[in-house]
Amino acid sequence: MRAVLLVTLAAGLGLAQPADPGKPATTNVMGAEYPKIHADLSVTFRTKAPDAKKVQVDLGKPWDMERDGEGVWSVTIPPQVPGFHYYYLSIDGVRVSDPASRNFYGVSRESSGIEIPEAGADYSEIKDVPHGQVRNYRYYSKTVAGWRRAFVYTPPDYDTNLKARYPVLYLQHGGGEDETGWPNQGRVDIILDNLIAEKKAVPMIVVMDKGYALKPGEEIPQPPAAGQPRRPFFSRTFEEVVIDDLIPAVDGGFRTLTDRDHRAMTGLSMGGMQTFQITMAHLDKFAWIGGFSGSGGIMGGPFDAKTAYDGVLADAAAFNKRVKLVWIGIGTKEPERMYASVHSFHEALTQAGIRHVYYESPGTSHEWLTWRRDLNEFAPLLFR
């Protein structure tokens, strides 16, 4: 009876009902039946809210949910792009997490997330291969006068190959996320485990810190208001933390190779911008540089390779000799402004004669599937 009612409602809304019952998303909390993903990647959401007047699910855009006689609201939304998407419910206009979903720190808050499976892509699926570990690593930062926590991936043989020293990749999250992003949404250890098992990437340590840092008394920097001069909306304090506190702490606490030829940095979105800011100012410390949907020259505006980053790009031949890799990635379905800024930076580098790799993730937006693919493409090129 309820099924009939739902079909009727859906027909009224012009939404097609999938033929199959669907499977609970892997991102649901233990025991939660909904959200369910159907074979065609359409998704049914359901939540109980007998006293609410209006309930929506927002996944990229808001979808009205329909109430049944018992106060259960549901909607089936059209097939979704594979990968990890943040989403939320709106209960009488209040944006809240779906109680049925695991939460992921993103968009500056805990957010519901749903993993839409990608057919045929197993690079980010757990396999029967040796597994590394993600460790919480507490270190003292003189810059912020307090303890900070980074996550550190150690490769599978780290605890057995005790004479080995490893190169290090510093890997940053995006704006509104934190150091939990890559271990949770990004599946960093699974991607690296798989690459290392297939000998596509060399065993490496990956360090993931929170890309925010404030000195005592320092205020959180605000994004520029409309019409104001563009500037990075993150504090430079994080740069000091990386250079003065984090790198020494990692080199002191792990069996790392400490020269610049064995140190890389990349990040997504804001983390990519931070990477270019930090590495270009410290080429004595980094020889491998990446930017996932965020790099140099982002946010539009003229980019002049002769003067940018205090002129380190001005002599292309010298830069190309000094820097082993510059790598830039973007999803083809990212918002136009994002795509344009990364693509135009790629073109500016090309014009300036700066050797680099440019990668487009087909069909993906400013989302974690783009960045997982980026990591899967970027990591194999490192430390060769």
Subset of 161-190 contacting its own copies (CB under 8 A): 162, 178, 183, 189
Closer of 103 and 344 to its own copies (Cβ): 103
Contact between residue 85 and residue 58 where contact means Cβ atoms under 8 Å apart: no
Q: Please pick, from the candidates 7, 79, 80, 131, the single residue that binds its own copies as defined by CB under 8 A.
A: 131
Residue 144 CB, nearest approach to its own copies (Å): 13
Residue 84, H or E segment? strand 83-91
Site for its own copies in 286-315 (CB under 8 A): none
Using CB under 8 A, pick the residue from 147, 226, 302, 306 that binds its own copies.
Answer: 147
Neighbours of 34 (CB within 10 A): 18
CA dihedral sign, ordered 195, 291, 136, 165: positive
Q: Is 95 in the site for its own copies (CB under 8 A)?
A: yes
Query: In the complex with its own copies, which residue's Cβ is closer, 183 or 294?
Result: 183
Length of the chain: 384
**Which one among 45, 63, 137, 166 touches its own copies, defined by CB under 8 A?**
137
Binding residues for its own copies, rule CB under 8 A, total: 48
Contact map string, positions 224 to 263, toward its own copies, x by CB under 8 A: -----------------------------xx---------
Tell me if 80 contacts its own copies by CB under 8 A.
Answer: no
DSSP state of 43: E
Ranges within 26-55 binding its own copies (CB under 8 A) = 29-31, 47-54
Binding status of residue 318 toward its own copies by CB under 8 A? no
Among 135, 215, 282, 355, binds its own copies (CB under 8 A): 135
Q: Where are the beta strands (DSSP E) in 340-381?
A: 357-361
| Residue 95 C-beta: closest distance to its own copies, Å | 7
Taking CB under 8 A as the criterion, the residue among 102, 173, 187, 260 binding its own copies is: 102
Which of helix, strand or coil describes residue 216?
A: coil
Of 148, 204, 139, 151, which Cα lies nearest the Cα of 182? 151
Smallest separation (angstroms) from its own copies to the CB of 175? 11
Question: Which range touches its own copies (CB under 8 A), out of 131-139, 229-237, 261-269, 289-297?
Answer: 131-139
Placement of tokens 């520029």 in the chain: 224
Neighbours of 358 (CB within 10 A): 16
CA distances from 151 to 171, 207, 273 (A): 10, 6, 20
Q: CB-side exposure of 152: number of CA atoms within 13 Å? A: 24
Which neighbouring-strand residues pair with 200?
none
Smallest distance from the beta carbon of 375 to its own copies, in angstroms? 17
The first and second tokens of residue 111, run together, are: 């957010």
Report how far apart, in Å, the C-alpha atoms of 367 and of each of 3, 114, 124, 294, 331 are.
Answer: 34, 12, 15, 12, 8
Which residue ranges make up the site for its own copies (CB under 8 A)?
29-31, 47-54, 89, 91-97, 99-103, 105, 108-110, 126, 128, 131, 133-138, 140, 147, 159, 162, 178, 183, 189, 212, 220, 253-254
